């Protein structure tokens, strides 16, 4: 697909599927249908835009248990690649501005995504506590621990918040590296390109205890794990 056509398709298809998810949820009186629509959206979007995903290491994880997935972040396409590559509808901890988009924001909320406003410390902490509660109840949540998309493809330092979330949830954290997604849609552009990408899953890691020192060690271990996965 031509990159310009792919861009227009991505935007229109995303909003159309968001509206479909919200409407189906209202008609059925349940948000569970949103998960099915989200997975269909991710798979079809990647297929139509020429994004081919190689998934490695997914068998290292028990996907029937609540988890926090910690990943690097290079592209707006990281979300559909993550869901399509793992074959699972997932919730995401993401910036609050996205929840203001009509239909799309509502669909995200019904999917189990949690909005975080990093400019307000008290609100950000409350969002992390809400996310931890969701995970304890059985959710699988993705956090992009760098806090924003990378400009040059390198792995940036991880923020502290995601590891407070993991510690509060008391669950395993799964390191994941997305390699090549920056080629699909680099930061500062909406242009969508076909690409072959890799989704690499590492061994789950459990925080040792509830101390701040253990939280820092977890952050260091997770950064090293994701960096190693990015290298292959």
Using CA atoms in the order 146, 148, 154, 159, what is the torsion angle rounded to 10 degrees?
-20
Q: In this predicted structure, what is the pLDDT of residue 188?
A: 77
Whether residue 29 has pLDDT greater than 90: no
User: Residue 45 — very low, low, confident or very high, per pLDDT cuts 50/70/90?
Assistant: very high
The hierarchical CATH code for the domain 3-231 is 3.40.1130.10
pLDDT at 4: 83
pLDDT the model gives residue 175: 98
pLDDT higher than 90, residue 171? yes
Give pLDDT tens digits for 112-147: 999 988 777 778 889 999 999 999 999 999 999 998
Rounded mean pLDDT of 33-55? Answer: 96
Domain boundaries, the chain: 3-231
Burial (CB count within 10 angstroms: exposed 0-12, middle 13-18, buried 19+), residue 188:
exposed
pLDDT at residue 118 in the model: 74
Query: pTM of the predicted model, to two decimals?
Result: 0.93
Q: Which pLDDT score is estimated for 35?
A: 95
Q: What is the band of 21 on the pLDDT scale with cuts at 50, 70, 90?
A: very high
pLDDT of residue 123: 84
Q: What is the mean pLDDT of the chain?
A: 92
The stretch 160-178 carries a mean pLDDT of 95
- Of residues 46 and 209, which shows the higher confidence score? 46
Task: Please tell me the predicted confidence (pLDDT) of residue 3.
Answer: 84
Q: What is the mean pLDDT of residues 15-41?
A: 94
With helix as H, strand as E and coil as C, how does the chain read? Answer: CCHHHHHHHHHHHHHHHHHHHHHHHHHHCCCHHHHHHHHHHHHHHHHHCCEEEEEECHHHCCCCCCEEEEECCCCCCHHHHHHHHHCCCCEEEEEHHHHHCCCHHHHHHHHCCEEECCCCHHHHHHHHHHHHHHHHCCCEEEEECCCCCCCCCCCCCCCCHHHHHHHHHCCCEEEEEEECHHHCCCCCCCCCCCEEEEEEECCCECCCCCCHHHHHHHHHHHHHHHHHHHHC
pLDDT of residue 39: 96
Is a pLDDT exceeding 80 seen at residue 220? Answer: yes
Task: Look at residue 187 and tell me whether its pLDDT is greater than 80.
Answer: no
What confidence score (pLDDT) does residue 5 get? 87
CB-based contacts of 92, cutoff 8 Å, min separation 6: 79, 108, 113, 114, 141, 142, 143, 144
């Amino acid at each position: 697909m031509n990159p310009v056509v792919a861009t227009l398709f991505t935007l229109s298809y995303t909003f159309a599927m968001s509206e479909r998810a919200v409407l189906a949820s209202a008609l059925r009186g349940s948000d569970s249908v949103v998960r099915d629509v989200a997975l269909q959206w991710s798979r079809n979007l990647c297929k139509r835009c020429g994004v081919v995903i190689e998934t490695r290491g997914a068998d290292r994880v028990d996907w029937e248990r609540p988890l926090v997935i910690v990943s690097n972040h290079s592209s707006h396409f990281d979300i559909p690649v993550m869901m399509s590559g793992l074959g699972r509808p997932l919730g995401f901890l993401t910036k609050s501005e996205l929840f203001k988009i009509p239909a799309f924001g509502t669909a995200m909320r019904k999917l189990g995504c949690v909005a975080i406003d990093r400019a307000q410390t008290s609100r950000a902490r409350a969002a992390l506590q809400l996310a931890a509660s969701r995970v304890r109840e059985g959710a699988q949540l993705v956090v992009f621990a760098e806090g924003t998309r990378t400009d040059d493809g390198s792995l940036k330092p991880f923020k502290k918040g995601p590891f407070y979330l993991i510690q509060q949830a008391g669950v395993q954290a799964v390191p994941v590296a997305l390699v090549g997604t920056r080629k699909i849609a680099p930061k500062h552009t909406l242009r969508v390109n076909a690409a072959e990408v890799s989704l690499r899953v590492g061994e789950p890691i459990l925080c040792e205890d509830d101390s701040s020192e253990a939280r820092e060690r977890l952050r260091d271990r997770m950064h090293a794990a994701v960096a190693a996965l990015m290298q292959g």
